Amino acid sequence: MATTAVATPVVRENYLNTNYGIKSWLLTTDHKRIAILYLISITLMFFIGGFFATLIRLELLTPQGDLMTADTYNKVFTMHGIVMVFFFLIPSIPATLGNFLIPMMIGAKDLAFPRINLLSWYIYIVSAALMIYVIVNGGVDTGWTFYTPFSTTYSNTNVFLAGIAIFINGFSSILTGLNFIVTLHRMRAPGMTWSRLPLFCWSHYATSVIQVLGTPVIAITLALVAIERLWHIGIFDPKVGGDPVLFQHMFWFYSHPAVYIMILPSMAVMSEIITCFSRKRIFGYAFVALASIGIAVLGFLVWAHHMFVAGISAYAALVFSLLSYFVAVPSAIKVFNWTATMYKGNVSLRTPMLYALGFIGLFTIGGMTGLFLANLGIDPHVTDTYFVVAHFHFIMVGGAVMAYLGGLHFWWPKMTGRMYNELWGKVAAFLIFAGFNLTFLPQFILGYTGMPRRYHAYVPEFQVLNVLSTAGASILALGYLLPLIYFLSSLRNGPIAGDNPWAAQGLEWKTASPPPTFNFEETPVVTWEAYDYEDLPKEVPVVS
C-alpha cells in the first residue's frame, strides 16, 4: 500500500525533529533533550523502586515473615529507599521539568552550562548503573540511612559500592543545582526581573541552594563510610573513641534538607498549576517566593529532630524541636496562599488541577503529622515506627510524586506537542489519591500503637491494618501504571495540543509546542508580571 506519510511543510522544526539518531540524543546539549533523557531514566528507576515497594507490601500481608527471608526483606526495603530517594525523588522534578522549563520560563536559549548539564545526566547514569549492579549482585541491607556501625562493620552486603554510587550521584545533583543558580542569575531575558520570575523558578532556586550546600556533606559522609569499610577503622567507630551519633548528624545535615529538595520543586509545580486552572494571579506572590527561600534556609537548622532518641543531649533536642516548628511556618503560608488563590477564581478541575488539589490535601496531612514528630513529647514514642513511615510518604509520595505527575500532565503538551486522554487522566488521579490514602492512613495508627519500622515479621495484632495498607498499595500501583500507558499512547494518538493548550501565562507557553531547539525565534522582552491572567481567556480551553 502506498503511503503518503511525507513530512508536510506544516511541521515546524522543533527540538525533537531537528535531528534523529542515538548519537544526536546522547551527545545533545539541549536542555530539553536532556530533560527527556532524565525523564526516561528516572521513570525506569521509579518502577524499580516501585517493584521493591510491592514486595514490601506483599511480605507485610501476613505477620510471619513468609514470603522472603529476613535478609532479603532487609535488602528490599533498603533498595526501595535508596532507589526512590536518591535516584527518583531528588532528580525527579528538577532534572526533568526544571531542566525543560527553567530556560524557557526566563526566556533563555539554554541553561548557562549546557555541557555540564549533559555531564550531570551521565554522572546520574553511571551512579544508577552502579546501583543497579549492586542490586543485581546481592543488594545492600543497611537501610537507606546507612547508620554506623552497622553499615561500616556489621553488614555483609555491598555497602561500599552502594555508598560510592550515592557519592557519585551527589555530583549530578550538585551540578544541576549549580547550573540552575547561574542560569537564574545570568540568563534572564530583558525585563524578567526577580519580581516577575515565575514561582516555579523561585522554588527551584531555593532547591538549588540546598543541593549545592547540602549534597557535598552527604558525599563526604558516605565516602567516610566507604573508607571505613575498606580500612576497617574510622571516625565513627566506637572502638577508637568515635561516635556513631556523629554519623547521624552528618547524614541528616544533608538528608533532612534533602526532603526539601524533593518538596520545594513540587511547590514550584503547584504555583503554576493552581494559577492557570483558577485563571488568577497567585495570592501573595512575594510571600510564596520568600517562603521558598525561608524553607531552604530554615530546613538546614532542624536536622537533629531525626535523632531525638539517638543519644543527643536533651538541650540539643529542645533547640532542634523549637527550630523544627519554625520551618513549619513557611510551608503553612504556602498552603494558605494556594488555597486563597482559588478564591473568586474560575476553577476548572482538569487533570493537573486534580493532582494539585490532591497535593494540597496530602501535603497538609503530611505537614500536620510532621508537627507530631517535631514534638518532643510524642516523638520518642512514634519515631522509628510506622508513624514516621506514613508521615514521610505523605510528604514524598502524597506531595512530591503527586506534584510530579501533575506537572507532567500540565507540561506534557508542551514537551511532546500532544494531549493525553483527559478521562484516563482523571481516573488515574482518583485512583492514586484513593489508593494512597488507603495505603498510608492505616500506617499512622500502626505507628502509634507501636509497630516499629523495618520489621520483616510483626506481632499478629497489627495484621488488619497491614492488610488494609497492602490493599491500598495495589490500587496505588494500578494508578501509577495508567499514566505510563496513556502518556505513551498519546505520543502517537493524542490530539495535537497547540502552543498554549491551557491558555496559560508564562514564557514557555509563548513558543511552539514542542519548542524549537533554541526555545524562541527571538529573545523575548518581558513587560508583564507573573501570572497576569487578566487579559488571557477566562476559561481553560479544551483540546480534542
Cell readout for 413 is: 503538551
Looking at 107, 242, 479, 524, which residue binds other proteins (CB under 8 A)? 242
Contacting range for other proteins; rule: CB under 8 A; set: 69-77, 392-400, 414-422, 475-483: 69-77
Q: Identify any residues that bridge with 385 across adjacent strands, giving them in sequence order.
A: 452
Looking at 14, 54, 339, 489, which residue binds other proteins (CB under 8 A)? 339
CA dihedral sign of residues 25, 26, 28, 32: positive
Q: Does 119 bind other proteins (CB under 8 A)?
A: no
Distances (CA, A) of 134 to 127, 137, 166, 185: 10, 5, 12, 39
Q: Identify any residues that bridge with 418 across adjacent strands, giving them in sequence order.
A: 496
Q: Is 516 left (phi over 0), alpha (psi -120 to 50) or beta?
A: beta
Looking at 26, 40, 129, 309, which residue binds other proteins (CB under 8 A)? 309
- Contact yes or no for 390/365 (Cβ under 8 A): no
Binders of other proteins among residues 1 to 60 (CB under 8 A) are none
Contacting range for other proteins; rule: CB under 8 A; set: 118-126, 198-206, 319-327, 393-401: 319-327
Measured CA to CA, the distance from residue 483 to residue 44 in angstroms comes to 14
Looking at 128, 342, 402, 428, which residue binds other proteins (CB under 8 A)? 342
Measured CA to CA, the distance from residue 88 to residue 48 in angstroms comes to 10
Q: Does 365 bind other proteins (CB under 8 A)?
A: yes
- Contact yes or no for 285/202 (Cβ under 8 A): no
Nearer to other proteins, 454 or 510 (CB): 454
Q: Does 544 bind other proteins (CB under 8 A)?
A: no
Nearer to other proteins, 304 or 475 (CB): 304
Contacting range for other proteins; rule: CB under 8 A; set: 108-116, 126-134, 199-207, 491-499: 108-116
Looking at 203, 215, 255, 439, which residue binds other proteins (CB under 8 A)? 215
Looking at 54, 62, 375, 474, which residue binds other proteins (CB under 8 A)? 375
What's the min distance (Å) between Cβ of 45 and other proteins?
23
Looking at 16, 67, 445, 482, which residue binds other proteins (CB under 8 A)? 445
Distances (CA, A) of 7 to 11, 12, 517: 7, 10, 19
Binders of other proteins among residues 456 to 485 (CB under 8 A) are 456-465
- Contact yes or no for 386/448 (Cβ under 8 A): no
Number of residues that bind other proteins (CB under 8 A): 150
Cell readout for 171 is: 555530583
CA dihedral sign of residues 147, 148, 153, 158: positive
Distances (CA, A) of 307 to 89, 314, 343: 23, 11, 41
Measured CA to CA, the distance from residue 158 to residue 394 in angstroms comes to 30
What's the min distance (Å) between Cβ of 300 and other proteins?
6
Binders of other proteins among residues 379 to 398 (CB under 8 A) are 379-381, 383-385
Q: Does 534 bind other proteins (CB under 8 A)?
A: yes
What's the min distance (Å) between Cβ of 509 and other proteins?
17
- Contact yes or no for 277/356 (Cβ under 8 A): yes
Nearer to other proteins, 477 or 507 (CB): 507
What's the min distance (Å) between Cβ of 465 and other proteins?
7
Classify residue 302 by its DSSP letter: -
Looking at 14, 125, 345, 526, which residue binds other proteins (CB under 8 A)? 345
Q: Does 526 bind other proteins (CB under 8 A)?
A: no
Tracing cell 566506637 back to the chain, one arrives at 238
Q: Does 62 bind other proteins (CB under 8 A)?
A: no
